[in-house]
Structure 1
């Protein structure tokens, strides 16, 4: 008879941490289109027939915008980043950092030293026996590691639906608006987009994207 240990929140968290340790490094490989995809990953769905033309149009416009703002030398262009992968990396990185700090604070341990995401995950895993004694903390660790593992899997599987939105971004005037139905949000995917708000993350965070609530954009 099974002892039911796999039903404990910390046992489940250990499984999710193991999944993250395996898959998170793959996000960096998936970040730039054209890199070799690991052999065990399923093949991506066939892209729309006009995808190439649309991407060329967007890259040309982005390059013109960057040149206009002095962000890139003429004739130079980098491979476009996959926005959903970039967002997943930032979300998981922030989530793991916050989770480790929360765990150590709850257990009365000093703040953790700086480390990579995999190292932080291993440190969290090493504390799971102590976490198990706190049912609230154990459930939180399980839920957060599960959320991040699923986010990682979605990014690697490229399953998030993206819909092009008519019109131009109010900040950069680029045809770079995309709707993300799973998030109920509209994003400007132009990496050169800047707004006049001095405190906005677009000025100092390369991964930042201006975002509008889907309902807010519809009303605008």
Structure 2
């Protein structure tokens, strides 16, 4: 009986010590779990932030690359269309020039057919003048065709390129360089009837003109 009473304080101390150890172990484990939770949350936040930044950089680079590719494709397409339009305009100009020259030739031939030319010299003189008129008209049309300069393409970024959803670079026609003034071709005038000149028929007498008249009273 006494033995049990003697052992009871030791038993209580052991229980208290065991409780303290258990409580310490529980608190340590809880703190470790809390620190582990905090470390995992911080790692996840850092990983997510890094991945988000990488994704944004990749997306931005992809958009820039695609924009450059689309701009180059647009530039090539516009250049091809501009060249096609220039060739079409050249062909149209040449066609119209030939048509107008044919009209002038036909008109000159009709004038020759209507004229009452007495000698071969008269016909040659009129024909030379008509040919000079046709040559002058042809030179004027050639000068007009050569003075045309097709516009070049220049890409100028729009003012809102840096804003969200900013505009893309737009192609703008470059102002044509000023060309020296070309003489305007003289419009073909209907040929006048041949005039008697001194080189064909010699000097002509000037017709008499009545200047004054005197009347005598009868």
TM-score norm. by structure 2 comes to 0.27
Larger Rg: 2
Higher helix share: 2
TM-score norm. by structure 1 comes to 0.27
Highest RCO, 1 vs 2 (Cα 8 Å, sep ≥ 6): 1
